[in-house]
Structure 1
Amino acid sequence: MPVRDLDLLIDCARKAGQIATSYAGQTAQRWDKPDDAGPVTEADLAVNAMMHETLTAARPDYGWLSEESEDGTGRLDQSQVFIVDPIDGTRSFIEGADTWSHSLAIARNGEITAAVVFLPKLDRLYAASLGGGATLNEQPIIASQTQGLENATILATKPVMAEQHWIAGDPGFKRAHRPSLAYRLGLVGQGRFDGMVTLRKSWEWDIAAGALIVTEAGGHCTDKSGASLRFNNPDPRLNGVLAAGASIHADLLASLAQT
């Protein structure tokens, strides 16, 4: 019997955790990517190599999009595509923190169908399948039911809070932060935070897995204009991300200044 896509991603994520944690983050060899694209370490590359070998061997007809692989146009002709970030939160990995993650997803005709976000240092594995719900360590999760931004805690960077981004200035919510975008989305799906906002162009590999986890947990996940997210685009960047429970998502969208 063929291995389900979600089971394949879960097994691969756990292997990734074993590889990544075998490196000492602060001493792992690292480089800076061109064009100020951030750091990459030998751990990122080792995880990427394993993911590519494992996943494409299991699904040779699926395309491939990864932060640590050279992109091409071939994936655009394939109806199903792996979208992965070998280590989301590389700076945190280098610092020796525990909030970096592995993010793995499969898109079919632009829609995410299976997703895993795994934080090996915290032993937290978020997973979701389209129509199958979302889990944390195999236990069902549900997004926040909070109402009113004044009652909400939102994951966002400090620049997001600048008054020019909000119609009425201060949006009124409490702010928190985690460095990994994939982890932020998992936390929203878990209901531990009421929402997350990022206004910058966001790479698909940072968002794909977490987006399904949020929506399968009953939340909403769109770009910053409220448009539905589609994946495996020629330019694999999304127009920001809003993720939250239904009520808070609507409030965030109504409060944002659209520029």
Structure 2
Amino acid sequence: MYNTITTELKDGILEITINRPDKLNALNQEVMKELALAIDEVYKNKDVKSALITGSGPKAFIAGADISEFLTLSPEQGAELAKRGHVIFQRIEDSHKPIAAAVNGFALGGGCELAMACHFRVASDNAKFGQPEVNLGIIPGYGGTQRLVQLVGKGKALELMMTADLIGAEEAHRLGLVNHVTTPAELLDKTRSILQKIHTKAPLAIAKVIKCVNNYFVYDINGFETEVEEFAGCFATQDLQEGASAFIEKRAAKFRGE
């Protein structure tokens, strides 16, 4: 079905692998189209409880965009390219099912932007992060100027984007860009274990948490009001009845997403 990515559904986790190791998994227009289709499956397939995005091979998660595609673009075409990227990455961020990035090796430019669009990030200890676009005379175009600020703060985000410096996994963890650092051999298992833990929780409540947290960053939405609305909505779900009953009865809850 795909030429530049692979997908595999295992234990409710749709594992999406960017599969261009000879190009360090660089994003081109075909990758973006296929990634969009894979994200559609996350939304639509009831057997998918969560997703994991990673890169093929030991060297790179995604080492950036395919720069060769930029040389012939007009400003209008550049705007369309950025808009398409924004739509795809926003669908990742807005997914009602958790999507994690398992970052192996270089996560640069569009690769760092893709990782930041995910709900959390686990990195191998050889990972490198950066937004080095100014080296090429451009700026991040897939949401990097916004999400990097959200994760590490304005001052550090500006420094990283203006210097084009790369940072290692431990520094990324210290800054809050990365949730966990592990070995390359343990990277996927660590990411899967977090997602599997989330699978045991109420899926409707997980979706509401994602919505409320994302709304914190939307300038014209009051996140506190969203929280009240989503909290109230929980009382119409069978999941709340099951969770509360299980707590009182001292047993494990069996949520059905209803």
Superposition TM-score tier, normalisation by shorter sequence? under 0.3
* Larger-Rg structure: 2
Task: State the structure with bigger RCO (CA 8 A, min sep 6), 1 or 2.
Answer: 1
Q: TM-score, normalised by structure 1?
A: 0.28
Q: Which has the higher strand share?
A: 1
Could you say which structure has the higher helix fraction?
A: 2
